[in-house]
Amino acid sequence: MKCPYCGYLESKVVDSRPADEGSSIRRRRECLSCHKRFTTYETVESLPLMVVKKDGSRQSFDRNKVLGGLIRACEKRPVSYQTLENTVMEIEQALQNQMDREVSSAQIGELVMERLKKLDEVAYVRFASVYRQFKDINTFMTELNKLLEDK
């Protein structure tokens, strides 16, 4: 590991411990040349996930877009930011566990709605109204009736 202070390529590990709930390892290192200490994180390299949009175009998965959608849906609702972060991690993990490296934007939307329904019903309806592009009050009422039936 290259020292961030002097650029020397050799260092020794002084301390290792799990980080990010066990998904990475935090290592304290000491440069063998200048003897300064620095921290590195080791994580499992995951293959990039490609999202196939409705128009057929492809782009890499961006967890910040999912988080942004959740934040907008849960605005002024009693849902903590940490809960939203955990939800994004769950969705990302579910997608990574699939054998396909390509996933449709529709699949992602359904996963988001599935989790929002459990978190906050108002946020779920907000997200669904945009995601499913409700055209009028009847489609909105149909979704609300489905939500009431599930209770």
DSSP string, 50-82: EEE-TTS-EEE--HHHHHHHHHHHTTTSS--HH
Q: Are residues 112 and 144 in the same domain?
A: yes
User: How many domains in the chain?
Assistant: 2
- Whether 5 maps to a domain, the answer reads no
- Whether 69 maps to a domain, the answer reads yes
Q: What is the mean pLDDT of each run of 10 residues along the chain (151 residues)?
A: 94 93 90 97 82 92 92 92 93 86 91 91 85 73 76 70
Q: Are residues 19 and 56 in the same domain?
A: no
Q: Tabulate helix, strand, coil % of the chain (nearest 5).
A: 45, 20, 30
Q: Are residues 64 and 99 in the same domain?
A: yes
Crossing angle of helices 105-119 and 121-131, in 10° steps, is 160
Q: Are residues 38 and 73 in the same domain?
A: no
Q: Are residues 97 and 143 in the same domain?
A: yes
Q: In this structure, are residues 99 and 56 in contact, taking their beta carbons and an 8 Å threshold?
A: no
- Whether 3 maps to a domain, the answer reads no
Give the pLDDT confidence score for residue 43 in this predicted structure: 84
Structural domain span for residue 25: 11-43
